[in-house]
Amino acid sequence: MNTTELKFVIDNATALFAGLKEKYPALAGYLVYSSPHGQCNLTTDLFEILKAFPAMIVASSQKEKSVALVQSIVSLEKEKKDNVNAKETVADKIKQLKNDLSQMIDELVLRDDTFVEIRFDEKKINLPLIYELQKDELVARVHTPQTKASIRIVLGTLRDLQ
């Protein structure tokens, strides 16, 4: 799956979430990508995905290079923030690394078995509502545990939502 297809996934997941919010006005939460290997907020920004949830990307030499570039960029951004004297030279390095990253980012392939899930605000968890959501036809019940021991609500995998 590429970034163009990811946009369709986000549109479909957002529409499903809006449908759930319409049915359940008390629903308070937000959407995330998740797998047993990590999670991050729903986004099409591959820089953010590489930074927060690199396991969402299929292993390849481009992924390894991209992850290394992202780590360098993050490190330089911290250095730029901490060292006022190095701002200009560091900014130039960051710009060059981001340019290098943008040239290889389109070659990255996203894992289509990654889930799109609802995360709930800790202060607004409504257990009876979550138990209702587990049974709703808009939710991927095959991936959503049907037990009161879980608050996991899955809308589907990237593949399902494409």
pLDDT for 124: 80
Q: Which helix (H) or strand (E) holds 115?
A: strand 115-120
pLDDT for 83: 76
| 122: its two tokens | 């800790």
Confidence band for 121, pLDDT divided at 50, 70 and 90:
confident
Separation of alpha carbons 103 and 90, rounded Å: 20
pLDDT for 70: 97
pLDDT surpasses 90 at 45: yes
pLDDT for 128: 95
pLDDT for 81: 80
pLDDT for 22: 97
Averaged pLDDT for residues 92-109 = 92
pLDDT surpasses 90 at 99: yes
**Mean pLDDT, rounded, of the chain:** 93
| 15: its two tokens | 């529409």
pLDDT for 3: 83
| 51: its two tokens | 């930074």
State the alpha helices, DSSP H only, in the chain.
3-23, 46-52, 61-82, 87-104, 127-135, 158-161
pLDDT surpasses 80 at 85: no
Averaged pLDDT for residues 73-87 = 82
